[in-house]
Structure 1
């Protein structure tokens, strides 16, 4: 399901209600696999599957109702074994370019704080570390650097949790060097 569209016209109020009941059953997992389209007021809702975005619009007119359904599939990435897996909810909408821009801003905030001999804000650190974890799930973007980068992130996280400014600075320098090495090769 990568961009499904459905248009239904001249639906009665009962058919429209049945459509939404059917959709609710499918979303809750209570729907039967066999479509019961024998009933006069039955309009089967498509299986939404694992969607990133679902848009349903309804217009009423003299002939009844018209319904428009648009859906976008969830982004799938390859795991280590090469199979496509669905990303967790917070990862579904992340594009690599968007992630990199966000990481750049958060890392800048962290390094500026460390450069001023001040512990960085907890929100900036948490966002940077979470984005770093997400970034290392993208294949072919510097996978040989990921293990070292994750270790440096762990070191930074521990130093931050301990409130150790010196260790945070050292881990920040390591992270910055790994970033430069990776970007030098992949940018």
Structure 2
């Protein structure tokens, strides 16, 4: 529901111009004072100034209409909460985002234990996380830097889990397992070039599988 405020006062005929100039200046600066009452234009949806002659004076009426801040719904993994201000909804989204980041940092085995149904996350969700981690691994190796062990460990766990989904290119599963074993050993050895070569083999297999199934 809209909130309306109305201010009324009488001024001499000679002061009418000053009142109107005051309103115009307030519109330009964003601040207005009528009498002793400050007005914040930022929250005003509608402003109406009317003048009515009364003898040697004018009766000034200033009507202001304030629109209430829109209430919105914010939806996350635990459902939707409605009746929030935009600021509250933003804060909730940011909190959800932080929670998602925390979830992503958990070992794959722990995240699988939290999953519903058959204990596995959705294949598309799994692949989305893997894509992000794989990109970070390849960028590190291309720059001659050993991949972050935490990211690599999470990727390897997710990779093993990926190979348990049916109807997702199962004829490639065995060769991918062997390639992952080589990559895992390279990671354990700490050699950047060895790991880079093992990653290149995994990337080659990924492209072969995607060319056939995408």
TM-score by length of structure 2 reads 0.45
Aligned pairs (5 A) from 1:110-149: 110-149=137-176
Among candidates 113, 129, 146, match of residue 89 of structure 1: 113
Q: What SS is found at the alignment partner of 2:165?
A: coil
Q: Larger relative CO (CA 8 A, sep 6+): 1 or 2?
A: 1
Among candidates 161, 164, 187, match of residue 188 of structure 2: 161
Counterpart in the other structure of 2:30? none
What CA deviation, in whole Å up to 9, does each residue of 1:135-173 have, x standing for no partner?
Answer: 000111011111111111111110111111111011010
Counterpart in the other structure of 1:11? none
Q: When you count helix as a share of all residues, which structure comes out higher?
A: 2
Counterpart in the other structure of 1:150? 177
Counterpart in the other structure of 2:211? 184
What CA deviation, in whole Å up to 9, does each residue of 1:25-73 have, x standing for no partner?
Answer: xxxxxxxxxxxxxxxxxxxxxxxxxxxxxxxxxxxxxxxxxxxxxxxxx
Counterpart in the other structure of 1:77? none
Aligned pairs (5 A) from 1:72-83: none
| Aligned residue pair count | 104
Distance in 2, matches of 1:156 and 1:144, equals 20
Q: CA deviation at 1:89?
A: 2.0
Q: When you count strand as a share of all residues, which structure comes out higher?
A: 2
Distance in 2, matches of 1:90 and 1:177, equals 32
What CA deviation, in whole Å up to 9, does each residue of 1:108-148 have, x standing for no partner?
Answer: 01000000000000111011101100100011101111111
Structure 1 segments (4+ residues) deviating >3 Å: none
- C-alpha RMSD over aligned residues: 2.3
Distance in 1, matches of 2:194 and 2:179, equals 11
Q: CA deviation at 1:93?
A: 4.5
